[in-house]
Amino acid sequence: MRPKFCSNAQASIPYLEFKKSIYSRGLANCMDKLKILIPLIFLIASVIPASATSDIHWCAMCHANIAKNFTKSLHYTVNGIINGWKQGAGKDFNMPPPKLCYKCHIGNCSRCHIYHKFIPNMTTCVDCHEHNIGVNYIGYLVKKMKKGPSPDIHYLHNLTCMDCHGKWEIHGDGHNYTFAWYAVKVRCLTCHGNESVVVKGMKPKQYDPNLLPHRLHKNLSCFVCHAVWYQTCRDCHLNDGKIANITTSEFHVLMGPNGKLYPACIMSVVYDGKRSTAVGIVMPHTISAKARPCSDCHSPENTSKVFLVGFKGHIIGPPGTRLANPPDRLIFKVPILNIWIDSEKLGTLIIGATLLGILVHYLKRRITMGGE
């Protein structure tokens, strides 16, 4: 694209070179015209919504690197959603991702940057990132005009999306990622494991590795315990977009590719009367300083549910995402024989056999010795 208001001498050179040239030449040829047009351009740009006047290619003229990276970002490619669909409902229904999924595709800078130099705020992000992220973050339930159990502690400290998430996460860093798992770089320890960090004048409370629950749960992500609730939407009907049931009482975990446990959300989708069920890792933005009670995982009634024992649906997410063994079920393989043994069942068998042996001995003794 070339500015049409300049003379023919500038017509064939790219815009950036032209931009340099007008300064090096002292604006000799165009200055008079520019003097009139510059205020006019800025006036128009600030009044007319950017979506009407710009797209990625237009922005790329000045923000070339950002624009180039952005076309590979998940916001642009929506690879995370597409891949998730292919691993889950797409398999069962044998169909491509529905149009609904593509509403998250951001093909235009102006979708977030409403006008030039507009910095997106939390509302901009929450427009799309509502489930488990935006709406829950402020303590409300998605699709329900009512409060959830609690807002995120970061929200209570007045932090917005961009206080944690860097521009390179949102615009992309040039890699064509397949899942948000890879694209999001910020970690809890970025702030909570670095004493020198100051956010909005606040010093984040530092992670204490010596705290008993921290010592015992080194294979757990912070989210498992500190994201104290999240919203699960059950039976999303693809035909009409209605959701049958919304709950905040579900809690599951999956093992991520890094071998750590993360909260997981069961997603059930209904299409033409058929149901597809899948589970994937989620990062609920409902963080609380006070963690979940131990019994959420460590109790007979919860353990199987949390660890999805017997789950038959699809597991979606990056390669290596898998079901985790519940803490109370230690199943091991006997080498060479390749037999899997549940340690609890084996132990129960040992104790049962011992008690039976004692009982038989006692009875035999009573019979033969008359209780002597």
Which residues here bind other proteins, judged by CB under 8 A? 209, 212-213, 215-216, 218-219, 259, 294-295, 298-300, 303, 325, 327-328, 330-335, 340, 343-344, 346-348, 350-351, 354-355, 358, 361-362, 364-365
β-strands 331-334, 339-342 pairing: antiparallel
Min dist. Cβ of residue 347 to other proteins (A)? 3
The three-state secondary structure class of 263 is: strand
β-strands 261-271, 252-255 pairing: antiparallel
Min dist. Cβ of residue 263 to other proteins (A)? 19
Min dist. Cβ of residue 284 to other proteins (A)? 22
CB atoms within 10 A of CB 248: 17
Instruction: Give 274 or 290: the residue with its C-beta nearer to other proteins.
Output: 290
Residues pairing with 248 in the sheet: none
CB 279 within 8 A of CB 266: yes
Amino acid identity at 81: I
End-to-end CA distance of the chain: 108
Instruction: Give 147 or 215: the residue with its C-beta nearer to other proteins.
Output: 215
Count of residues making up the chain = 372
Min dist. Cβ of residue 83 to other proteins (A)? 25
- Cα separation, 135 vs 155, whole angstroms: 11
Instruction: Give 81 or 254: the residue with its C-beta nearer to other proteins.
Output: 254
Min dist. Cβ of residue 294 to other proteins (A)? 3
- CA nearest 73: which of 186, 178, 165, 166? 178
Instruction: Give 116 or 214: the residue with its C-beta nearer to other proteins.
Output: 214
Instruction: Give 63 or 305: the residue with its C-beta nearer to other proteins.
Output: 305
